[in-house]
Amino acid sequence: MKKQPFVTKEKLDEIIKEYPTPFHLYDEKGIRANAQAVKEAFSWNPGFREYFAVKATPNPFILNILKEYGCGCDCASLTELMLADALHFKGEEIMFSSNDTPAEEFVFADKIGATINLDDFSHIEFLEKAIGHIPETISCRFNPGGVYEISNGIMDNPGDAKYGFTKDQIIEGYRILKEKGAKRFGIHAFLVSNTVTNDYYPALARTLFELVLEIREKTGCSISFINLSGGVGVAYKPDQTPNDIRVIGENVRKVYEEILVPAGMGDVAIYTEMGRFMLAPYGCLVTKAIHEKNTYKDYIGVDACAVDLMRPAIYGAYHHITVMGKEEEPCDHKYDVTGSLCENCDKFAVDRMLPKVDIGDLLVIHDAGAHGYSMGYNYNGKLKHAEILLKEDGSTQLIRRAETPEDYFKTFDCFDILKDMKDPADM
């Protein structure tokens, strides 16, 4: 599959007149079309809801777009809960899936009516002590342990993950929760990250559907909703075939009708939490080549760095790069594409074959719409850059301004120690 930017060079040339590089650019048309496709793929299930993983792209403008398609919010922290609540997502539209959770976060989640998804058996007692009761609606996160294998082979090793109840713990957990007054139960599992196969969700569904029948038999708890969580990935590499959400939804339906419907559980709601699938392909990092270095290797230095996209630096993750205006030129030059952090891992690409890159060329780094901006940090005093929405009508909207030095130093504003700091603009 040839990876093509969702924006033209001509449009980028227009955008950079108003917004300096680097910046994250999001494709409203693509976001809307994908959200509609997800909604249609699971329309066979009346209770279906996509709980968008806020951690992937915590931008209120993006969240409001997804809200139009019935999406809720999957939150993992107090600030993410605050964001969802501020945008008027209703309690049942918020899923709180956290781990190692502070008591005050459980308190806030309970106050706004979010569905709490417990990560550990010990959290039953911890939650009750924190909020003074057990909510009538409660969910638990399952970890089967060992390796998780489907027809395509071994997918991952959930037994090494810090998340979730064991099977014995979750069965006992539901029994205790029922005794303590819970009336509506859910189950959640996130076993594999970024799968590029249509088989993962149906296989996970089978695992969970069979488990909920066993839970009902052993505890008397009838599961009301099953959260397949995330794991449906995107094709970061050009030689990968993208997932087909309509095929995935249809195959989950077949397993649902095979296992749950005959057991009298044809009213169970299906939930998903697909942050990466929902947003990654519909955002890119736009950056400019500002230096070329030729030593033992050839380097192209750009004005973005790992602050703007950490995945290549910390995971060695592949993100495709397009040199704008040179899409049809041969990729006959080998480069490391680097940022300016004082870390050798600050590279967007290593030994990447690209067309000849000239100073001033615009580079589009693909599939940065999820876990891109949100993972940024301020090492070396680097500041996070703007987020811009390319609207359906071709206009642009600033949806997050760039950080300023004032933002960086804000946590010292209760002291006088930096009172003599000079503003570079005044020098």
* Lowest-confidence pick of 7-11, 29-33, 192-196, 228-232: 192-196
CA 375 to chain centre: 10
The CATH class of the 281-406 domain is mainly beta
Distance from C-alpha of 386 to C-alpha of 57, rounded to nearest angstrom: 13
Question: What is the per-residue pLDDT for 148?
Answer: 62
Residue 194, amino acid: N
Q: What are 87-121's pLDDT values in tens digits? A: 999 999 999 999 999 999 999 999 999 999 999 99
- Tallying the residues shown for the chain, one arrives at 427
Helix or strand or coil: residue 424?
helix
**Is the per-residue pLDDT at 150 higher than 70?**
no
| Tens digit of each residue's pLDDT (9 = 90 or more) over 276-313 | 999 999 999 999 999 999 999 999 999 999 999 999 99
Q: What string of DSSP letters covers 206-239?
A: HHHHHHHHHHHHHH-PPEEEEE--S-B----STT
User: In angstroms, what CA-CA distances link 4 with 12, 238, 380?
Assistant: 14, 10, 33
User: Looking at the chain, which residues constitute the CATH 2.40.37.10 domain(s)?
Assistant: 281-406
Query: Per residue in 22-59, is it b (16+ CB within 10 Å) or e — as a string?
Result: bbbbbbbebbbebbeebbebbeebeebbbbbbbbbbbb
Residue 401 pLDDT > 90: yes
Measured CA distances, 16 to 22, 156, 183, 287 (Å): 9, 42, 55, 10
What is the CATH number assigned to the segment(s) 42-273? 3.20.20.10
Tell whether the model's pLDDT for residue 380 goes beyond 50.
yes
Say which residue the tokens 């060695």 belong to: 316
> Residue 229: which residues within 8 A CB-CB, separation 6 or more?
97, 188, 189, 190, 272, 273
Contact 187, 226 (CB under 8 A): yes
Q: Which helix (H) or strand (E) holds 33?
A: helix 28-41
List, as one string, the DSSP characters of 357-388. P-TT-EEEE-S-TTTTGGG---GGG----EEE
Mind giving me the DSSP string for 47-104?
A: T-EEEEEGGG---HHHHHHHHTTT-EEEE-SHHHHHHHHHTT--GGGEEEE-SS--HH
- Asked whether the CA dihedral 341, 403, 56, 195 is positive or negative, the reply is negative
Pairwise CA distance, residues 83 & 85, whole Å: 5
- The CA distance from 343 to 56, in Å, is 24
> Structure pTM?
0.95
Which stretch of DSSP H or E encloses residue 351?
strand 347-354
Place of tokens 């066993």: 214
Of the candidates 88, 83, 126, 89, the residue with the CA atom closest to the CA atom of residue 107: 126
Question: What was the pLDDT predicted at 154?
Answer: 42
Structure tokens given for 226:
């099953």
Which tens digit of pLDDT belongs to each residue from 187-211? 999 888 888 999 999 999 999 999 9
